[in-house]
Amino acid sequence: MKIGNAEIRGIVRHFEEIDDPRSEVNRRHLLVDVIVISILGVIAGADGPLAIAMWANMQAPWLKQHLSLPNGIPSRHTIGRVLQSLKPAAFQQCFTAWLSLLCEESSTTEAEQQEKPLRQIALDGKCLRRSHAHRRGLGAMYLVSAWATDKGVALGQLAVEEKSNEITAIPQLLDQLDLADAVVTIDAAGCQRNIADEIVSGGGDYVLALKGNQDTLHRDVTELFAQLIDEDFRDTPVSRHEECDDRHGRKEERRYYQIAVPDNFPQREKWTGLKTFGLAIRRCVSGDNETLEHRYYISSLSRHGRRFANCVRGHWSIENKLHWVLDMTFREDESRVRERRLADNLGWLRRMALTLLKQHPGKQSIAMKRRMSGWNVNFLLQVLMGKAT
């Protein structure tokens, strides 16, 4: 099967409607050409405007077959200016529409189209550790990401200047997402009443980690579970689930408990949709070392032990399958880009590239798929299609 122009045109169609923020004076390159080159370059291993431009010049004959390029390959400065001027929300919206179409086309069987697994959206922030510029009074930038845990898809992103600003960024990010019939999981920073209200208003459910930032609620839930465990839940219906792993010389046991919120619980009415409290106990034995940790959760879901466990475990995929891969494969922590909007859009290009590489059915690692995309344009086009040919 011959691939090439149709796949590039598919990208062009979804990005050509973005408003061009540049002045019309001396505009020599088409906006969509610069965007497509940037997407392809980052998938193929580029990490910034200079590397994108170098990759594009090496692939110039091939790119000229599929893009207009009225004045040849854009320079690194042009690519940098375009990525610095694009509105991140509009950029992300176009990618989401394109990815939705790819997912619809890849679901070919009737069973796949009818099956509706649990949609879990994990939200978490990540620091770009070397993005600081102390002489300009800029600390390291944080990117708050939304991650579809069941599909391995980046759904959205917002940049904030401080970790504490995640609380204000999360509602803005939720506004961009389709929350209907989804379970949203957030760590303790997002355990806020307005966030719970927005999730439920959007047609979703929540599982929110509970820590000391909600001091009274955390204390009350901790004391409640301590009493119930001491009584072995004698008079309280409880959903339980247990898991055990014994790998790499380490034994890990996880126990999950979920109970309905008591009718007389003091803060019950303050949290929209609040139905259950959850407790996850993790015991890890490695050699002579043993650790035991308790994590508490509030949720709008009804009692269901396995589903609660899946939500707790699924949330960690944003750390293991998004943040860790961005650092190890895309070297995101090493980026020294200080211009905030440029860093934001480059961050989204990395998440976009990771999403597409994950959708490719090949058995290679993400790092190897990225190398192969740089070595072979046919493999790069397969990544765009989300299928091997």
Domain range annotation of the chain: 5-108+339-385, 117-323
Q: What is the pLDDT of residues 10-33, one digit of tens each?
A: 788 888 888 899 888 889 999 999
Q: Does residue 47 contact residue 370 with C-beta atoms inside 8 Å?
A: no
Single-letter code of the amino acid located at 239:
S
Q: What is the pLDDT of residues 247-288, one digit of tens each?
A: 777 899 999 999 999 999 988 999 999 999 999 999 999 888
Indicate the pTM of the whole model. 0.89
At CA 283, angle to CA 281 and CA 285, rounded to 5?
175
Please state which CATH number belongs to domain 117-323. 3.90.350.10
Q: What is the pLDDT of residues 310-369, one digit of tens each?
A: 999 999 999 999 999 999 999 998 888 888 899 999 999 999 999 999 999 999 999 999
Of residues 163 and 218, more confidently modeled: 218
Give residue 112's pLDDT.
Answer: 45
Give residue 383's pLDDT.
Answer: 93
Query: End-to-end alpha-carbon separation of the chain, Å?
Result: 7
Instruction: Assign 117 a pLDDT band (cuts: 50, 70, 90).
Output: low
Strand order in the sheet with 276-286: 153-160, 141-148, 119-128, 182-186, 205-210, 289-299, 276-286, 250-260, 239-247
**Which helix H or strand E contains 156, and what residues bound it?**
strand 153-160
